[in-house]
Amino acid sequence: MKFLFDDESFSFETLRAAGFANDGGSDLGEILATARNIGESDEDAWLREWKNTAQRVHAIGSRALEAGHRVSAREALLRASNYYRTAEFYRRDDPANDPEVKLLSTLSRETFAQAATLMDTPVEAVRIPYQDTSLPGYLFLVDDSGTPRPTVIFTSGFDSTLEEVYFVVAAAALRRGYNVLAYDGPGQGAALREQALVFRPDWEAVVTPVVDYALTRPEIAPDRIALMGYSLGGYLTARAAAHEHRLAALVLDDGLYSYHDANTRIMPPFLREWVETGRDDLANPVAGLLMMSSTQARWALRNGVWTFGATSVADYIRRTTDYTLDGVAHLIDCPTLILDAENDQFFHGQPQRVAAALTCPYTLITLPEAEGAGEHCHMGAMSRFQQTTFDWLDTTLSAH
């Protein structure tokens, strides 16, 4: 599905930003006005134009706040947060040391934090104990009554951030009477950018402390906790659920059995062989050529090196080997919803592999391109994704 760009990656990321309009993450006019000034595959223009839009909308929010217009301020600050995130997306030459990455990601977090103080329902910034440090999170509450409610613990993916969770699922959850506990885990958001924590395959080491924290909160019903994973989070949460058995339900958006296979399936066979046999002297230069010709490959491989703590593209691909449900999928024991996107080429066949490996009750739903929901994680069709997910959760948790 092309959206404003022929470049597949630019099209998808613009659709992603625009799709968050449902819950105040963007305005279509702002999307169109920004995109028209960006040339195909021009990453410098992408950063410049989205940053300009973010700064302009941020200023609108600041002026509204100063004037006492609470709702207008909140709405503008939410959009600015999404636009700052979008601006930073392709800046991946040396993101760990790039002042522009630090500036834009900080502004995305700060504008969201400001907006959160202006919301009509309680939002609490939290720190979740993890090993010898803590993970940043938000607890979105239906109200301030203290009533225990069903709660979604949300895990982001390969490139998403804690703040994005509000547009993906939290706002929709609150309307339906669900709390949401969201966090940045290793390799994600502020945990990566501020704490230099990188991805790890044994995600139960992350989710179990999050569940421990959730059970300290009286607002969270301990017998109605649903774990939800988004994009790469579809693997991470499934892996965690194989070892964490205090969950009432699991939602995989979308199902991902082997992250390594998803990567190597789209590689030329000779390149895959060089990576697997450690011929980095051959593999890395060829990968570099592929990156020059494809925005998507360039972004994904550079982002992978950073978020996985790898030393090169070949090293990153090898590190994905352990990201598989081999030998653990059968340990998942809670009802599971596996989502599939009809047009998702990267996750192609992965949801079906997850379903085939499960021994717990599961539901596999493919959302089609004809409904506008066929892109990865159903970008551009947030309402359809949210309806499908929460209708299933309503039924599943009511029977729990």
pLDDT for res 399: 72
Domain with CATH 3.40.50.1820 in the chain: 121-258+323-400
Domain with CATH 1.20.1440.110 in the chain: 1-120
Q: Where do we find the tokens 């593209």?
A: 313
Tell me the per-residue pLDDT of 268-304, one tens digit each, with 9 for 90 and over: 999 999 999 999 999 999 999 989 889 999 999 999 9
Q: Which residue from 396, 394, 395 is spatially nearest to 175, judged by alpha carbons?
A: 394
Looking at 265-344, list the stretches that DSSP marks H as alpha helix, in order from N- to C-terminal side: 269-276, 280-293, 295-307, 313-319
Mean per-residue pLDDT for 238-257? 98
Mean per-residue pLDDT for 341-363? 96
- Say whether 134 sits in a helix, a strand or coil: strand
Tell me the per-residue pLDDT of 20-67, one tens digit each, with 9 for 90 and over: 999 999 999 999 999 999 999 999 999 999 999 999 999 999 999 999
Mean per-residue pLDDT for 243-248? 98
Fold of the 121-258+323-400 domain = Rossmann fold (3.40.50)
Which pair of structure tokens corresponds to residue 331?
């340990």
**Residue 80: pLDDT band by 50, 70, 90 thresholds?**
very high
Rounded distance, CA 289 to CA 396, Å? Answer: 48
Fold of the 1-120 domain = de novo design (two linked rop proteins) (1.20.1440)
pLDDT for res 1: 81
pLDDT for res 370: 95
Mean per-residue pLDDT for 105-123? 98
- CA-atom Rg of the chain in angstroms: 20
For the full predicted model, state whether its pTM sits above 0.85: yes
Given the residues 26, 108, 231, 258, the one annotated as active site: 231
CA distances from 74 to 41, 59, 71, 199, 400 (A): 32, 12, 5, 32, 37
Q: pLDDT over 90 for what percent of the chain?
A: 96
State phi, psi for 286 to the nearest 5 degrees: -65, -40
Q: Is the pLDDT of residue 202 over 70?
A: yes
Q: Is the pLDDT of residue 126 over 90?
A: yes
> Is 231 an active-site residue?
yes
Q: Where do we find the tokens 């990188």?
A: 198
**Residue 400: pLDDT band by 50, 70, 90 thresholds?**
low
Mean per-residue pLDDT for 141-147? 97
Average pLDDT, the chain: 97
